[in-house]
Structure 1
Amino acid sequence: MSNQHSTKNSATPFDVIIENIDIKGQYIHLAEAVHLSGQLNVSELRAQYLTSSEEDLALQMGVDEAGRGPLLGSVNVAAAILPSAWAGLIENQPLKDTPLSILTDSKQLSEKKRDVLYPLVQKYAMGYVVADVPAAVIDQINILQATMLGMRLCTEVLLEMVAPYLMIDNADSDLQQKSHTCVQVLFDGNRCPDLDEATLEKVGIKKSAIDSQAWVKGDARHTSIAAASILAKVSRDKTMYTLDNQYPEYGIAKHKGYPTKAHMEAIAMHGILPAHRRSFAPVRKVLEN
């Protein structure tokens, strides 16, 4: 990676708001907007993917989520692209002697270590995006589809942002480029979301250039998924601390929205909050009673 000064200066932040979405041919107005925010390190992308003489250079993007199980708040999804030399299987130690050397599955790290890694991932990633999929959307389309939507949007938004800086192989082009980029998108879990191929083709990324892979426990296996897991987990924790400040009587800072005894007792005593997921059985039962 470049020195600290150039990394900082070349970072371009971006924000995207999604209010309507096409899911499997069905056009849906979301109950609440999905907010995506991130950053692109343009100079590093140019250096690695526009000037490289390597054949078949693969750009690796990791995608992970945090917050599928809680009764409260958003599910957060993140995608991250690490420098090519830092991307790969954790067991091969591509992060050895880098600022991210302690990076692994966020669930295996203490909150203190995650908080240390969070700004480092943001600083050294060539690009990243975090999606906040609100409880209202989870209730609207269910938690699995909300998670898949977050993964899809993170992937599409980040690919659209990086597309101008990639040499994408184009079979229809008369120009024979000396190298091209294949994009590997590594999703934590056992399934990949359906990407909007038409949207990606508009920015020059053909379906044939994207290799989507599902990795069970991928956050403990791939550096890019582990980086995404840090972004998703810490981002979600931040939203929980904000809610805790608003509603201190619920003890949210301790249970982070999970269905603990203390959380259920707080619900029984103080009622359901706007951020509670009404489609989740424990909350639904309280509402029905």
Structure 2
Amino acid sequence: MQIQPSTKNLAQIIDVSTDHIDVKGQYIQLAAPIRLYGQLNTSKLFAQYERDEAQRLEQSILKIGVDEAGRGPLLGSVNVAAAILPASWSGLIEEQPLKDTPLSILTDSKKLSEKKRDILYPLVKVHALGYIIADIPAAVIDQVNILQATMLGMRLCTEALLDAALTCLVTKNNENTLLKQLQIEVLFDGNRCPDLSHATFHELGISPSSVDCQAWVKGDARHTSIAAASILAKVSRDETMYALDMQYPEYGIAKHKGYPTRAHMEAIERHGVLSAHRRSFAPVRKALES
């Protein structure tokens, strides 16, 4: 993993691509590379977890929220994001842990206007202790199906963010006491959790039993950490749609964002299927057959 320090804001940039994945010991070559990018706010991360022994025992839970955007469209990537908010900001939305913070309007991205999402996007990046975004391209979606592509993105985001965060914490503390005390909660939006790699936990020096994976149905409307991830996933995916719209203005992508609207289907009929279309999705498959 490429982690580059930034002297301006004591952040570490995460930027890595992978073209293969290990699933329970089986090596799978991906149809296209998956890119993961994000950063750690190392100064805030250290401040939260560099405490004396008594405080560590009471406050040693690292919560990661994970969400996706773009499962339904016929075009482009599905984007997955993971975010670590400051501990005092991470909790049930109904209990208002974000009141009087820069993220006070944060909730499920689907309930917010595009203008509000665009306001929150850089704020989440600035105030999160760490975040990561994965772009799972259409070729991988066609290779493994949309559900497995989403689960793969959730797994990769979780493992990469844990790798970066725990490596930094151990390097700073120069000992393993923190890892023995740290409890990790990973909150996934939806009704299932991905299968995380135990080999990754072993490499990080943590026990799989210290990682509590939880599936939260409609979690982006219930928990602030998941809501933060939903903003990152949604806005980053919209950005890829706007970039495609610049390349192919005749498809009207900026308006339909790849969803199977009437205008989108008519554009496919007139102009054909793009390389970014998901060929495993029935409307695209039928268009190719005809």
Aligned to 2:28: 28
Structure 1: 4+ residue segments shifted above 6 A? 174-179
Q: Which amino acid aligns with 2:100?
A: D
| 2: CA distance, partners of 1:51 / 1:216 | 34
Hey, what does 2:282 align to over in structure 1? 281
> RMSD in angstroms over aligned alpha carbons?
1.9
Alpha-carbon separation, structure 1, partners of 2:165 and 2:263: 44
Partner secondary structure for residue 12 of structure 2: strand
Shift, 1:177, TM fit: 6.6
Q: Is the 8 A contact 1:11 1:42 kept in 2?
A: yes
Any conservation in 1 of the 2:179–2:206 contact (CA below 8 Å)? Answer: no
Which consecutive residues of structure 1, in runs of 5 or more, have no partner in the other structure?
1-5, 168-173
TM-score, length basis structure 2: 0.92
CA offset digits 1:125-169 (Å, max 9, x no partner): 0000000000000000000000000000000000000113457xx
Letter in 2 for 1:222: H
* SS class of match (1:9): coil
Q: For residue 214 of structure 1, what is the amino acid of its counterpart?
A: A
Shift of 1:180: 1.8
Instruction: Report how many aligned residue pairs link the two structures.
Output: 278
Q: Which residue of 2 aligns with 1:261?
A: 262
In structure 2, which of residues 107, 126, 132 is the aligned counterpart of residue 129 of structure 1?
132
Displacement of 1:8: 5.8
Cα displacement (A) at 1:26: 2.6
Q: Match of 1:100?
A: 103
1:55 aligns with 2:57: yes
Matched residue, 1:219? 220
Q: 1:162-203 deviations in whole A, cap 9, x for unaligned?
A: 113457xxxxxx987798210100000000000011112211
Give the deviation of 1:50 after TM superposition: 2.4
Task: Determine whether 1:237 maps to 2:230.
Answer: no
Aligned CA distance change for structure 1 residues 176 and 239 (closer, same or farther; 3 Å): closer
Corresponding residue of 1:3:
none
* Letter of the structure 2 residue corresponding to residue 26 of structure 1: Q
Per-residue Cα deviation, 1:248-271 (whole angstroms, up to 9, x for no partner)? 000000000000000000000000
Q: Which residue of 2 aligns with 1:171?
A: none
Q: State the one-letter code of the partner of 2:57.
A: E
Residue 14 of structure 1: CA displacement? 1.3
Among the aligned pairs, what percent are the same residue?
70
2:37 corresponding residue in structure 1: 37
